[in-house]
Amino acid sequence: MSELQRIPVGVLGATGMVGQHFVNFLKNHPIFDLTWVGASDRSAGKLYREATSWRLDGVMPAKTAGLTVQECKPTAAAPKLVFSAMDAGVATEIERAFAEAGHTVVSNSRNHRMEADVPLLVPEVNAEHLGMLATQKANRGWKGQIVTNPNCSTIALTMALGPLKAFGIEKIIVTTMQAISGAGYPGVPSMDITANVVPYIGSEEEKMESETQKILGAYTDGKFTDLAASVSAHCNRVPVVDGHMVAISVQLAAKPTIDEVRAAIESFRGLPQQRNLPSAPAQPVIYMTENDRPQPRRDVNRENGMAVFVGRLRKCPVLDFKMMALGHNTIRGAAGAAVLNAELMLSEGLL
Ligand code: NAP
């Protein structure tokens, strides 16, 4: 697609931590052209470079630096496709206003994730959940639509378990080791996290449990049905910069062999791979055979941060199998996830 044909897109909350990840992720995108940035009225009217303290590695993309920050209002100048990285305290109303006015909102915020007619999408795992958008439009009377991506730790878990869905997932116990970048900026005080582990992340366990059931559940005829599996999550903050590790134990109805489980992981592909979507990793879940991998520092940036790495698959004496998984929390767990969601929607003719 030539520069002229690229689709203009905007970012709501572009000045924040996740917003900056959107700006970075979109800078060389072959289809989406970031032409519009929105933030609070504290930033509106300023150039993006004046309104934003750039906190990512490298320099702020030059083209975005020169954009004037807009108020997050669905004016005629706002692109039809907007990614949302807004503060959760304001996202509900603003995202709804954009959808009402005919915009597609692809959101990373938690606000609409668990609503009964809003897809909570992981493109390789539950692409069929996009079928709900017709119902959403009918229910709400919106000209536009809202699609969400999960919480950063839930993405790593559901990507790792996606290949096992066909075996009938009955029980999941997951313990996370979550990076400090997941808490935004300035995040967890250094006095709390240096050489320490904090065994509490507000609302994270509840989100992981309910979002996992929705994502791994079914969509049929305008209705989501949760996965009928019990999910228990323990969430911990650890002194790692990027990359959430999740230790998973799972019980499977079909009682596959360990070789069958590993083969399912290694052969797992989804629509993003079949359609060669620009942000899709060639292999969404990569199995590592070394005893001591995956590791955040060594593996998290591979595959542009878009794959989930799994290792140490072994028998579990309590449930059936246990394994480790690693996902990049701000890329696959936030901005990259939302951009891949939009690419899938485009390929489905939904934009
Ligand atoms: P953040 O750094 O505090 O950024 C919040 C953004 O929202 C800023 O651009 C801010 O603009 C904007 N905003 C605040 N009030 C607004 C208003 N009244 N109208 C319009 N825009 C407003 O937060 P963050 O860490 O990027 O998180 C953003 C969202 O992503 C949250 O919903 C969070 O739960 C979710 N999330 C975060 C992470 C993570 O790793 N941090 C991961 C997953 C999900 P100003 O700069 O003008 O104030």
CATH of region 7-151+335-347: 3.40.50.720
**DSSP state at residue 333:** I
How far, in Å, CA of 284 to CA of 268, rounded? 7
Atom of ligand 1 nearest to the CA of 43: 47
137-196: per-residue pLDDT in tens? Answer: 999 999 999 999 999 999 999 999 999 999 999 999 999 999 999 999 999 999 999 999
Q: What is the pTM of this model?
A: 0.97
| Predicted confidence (pLDDT) at residue 2 exceeds the cutoff of 80 | no
Mean pLDDT of the chain: 97
| Predicted confidence (pLDDT) at residue 1 exceeds the cutoff of 80 | no
Query: Which residue would you say has higher pLDDT here, 278 or 4?
Result: 278
Cα of 14 vs centre of ligand 1, distance in Å, is 8
308-347: per-residue pLDDT in tens? Answer: 999 999 999 999 999 999 999 999 999 999 999 999 999 9
How, if at all, do strands 218-220 and 223-225 pair? antiparallel
Cα of 91 vs centre of ligand 1, distance in Å, is 9
| Predicted confidence (pLDDT) at residue 221 exceeds the cutoff of 70 | yes
pLDDT band (50, 70, 90) for residue 4? low
Write down the architecture of domain 152-328 according to CATH.
Answer: 2-Layer Sandwich (3.30)
Pair of tokens at residue 257: 């062999």
Task: Say what percent of the chain tops pLDDT 90.
Answer: 99
Question: Does the CB atom of residue 108 touch ligand 1 within 6 A?
Answer: yes
**DSSP state at residue 302:** G
Out of 18, 75, 180, give the residue to mutate to test ligand 1, the one with the largest number of ligand atoms within 8 Å of its CB. 18
Q: Could you please report the per-residue DSSP string of 163-205?
A: GGGGG-EEEEEEEEEB-GGGG-SS-S-HHHHTT--B---TTHH
Question: Does the CB atom of residue 15 touch ligand 1 within 6 A?
Answer: yes
**DSSP state at residue 69:** P
Give just the sign of the alpha carbon dihedral 166, 169, 173, 179: positive
pLDDT of residue 312: 98
How, if at all, do strands 169-177 and 81-84 pair? unpaired
Average of per-residue pLDDT across 36-65: 97
Question: Does the CB atom of residue 145 touch ligand 1 within 6 A?
Answer: no
Across the strands, what pairs with 287?
Answer: 310
Phi, psi of 295 (to 5 degrees): -130, 140
| Predicted confidence (pLDDT) at residue 244 exceeds the cutoff of 80 | yes
Out of 40, 152, 154, 204, give the residue to mutate to test ligand 1, the one with the largest number of ligand atoms within 8 Å of its CB. 40
| Predicted confidence (pLDDT) at residue 3 exceeds the cutoff of 60 | no
Amino acid of residue 235 = C
CB contact at 8 A, 164 and 323: no
Question: Does the CB atom of residue 78 touch ligand 1 within 6 A?
Answer: no
| Predicted confidence (pLDDT) at residue 215 exceeds the cutoff of 70 | yes
pLDDT of residue 5: 83
Question: Does the CB atom of residue 122 touch ligand 1 within 6 A?
Answer: no
Domain residue limits, the chain: 7-151+335-347, 152-328
Question: Does the CB atom of residue 85 touch ligand 1 within 6 A?
Answer: yes
Average of per-residue pLDDT across 48-67: 97
Element (H, E) at 215: helix 204-215
The residues that are catalytic are 152, 244
Q: Which residue has the tokens 């706002």?
A: 78
pLDDT of residue 76: 96
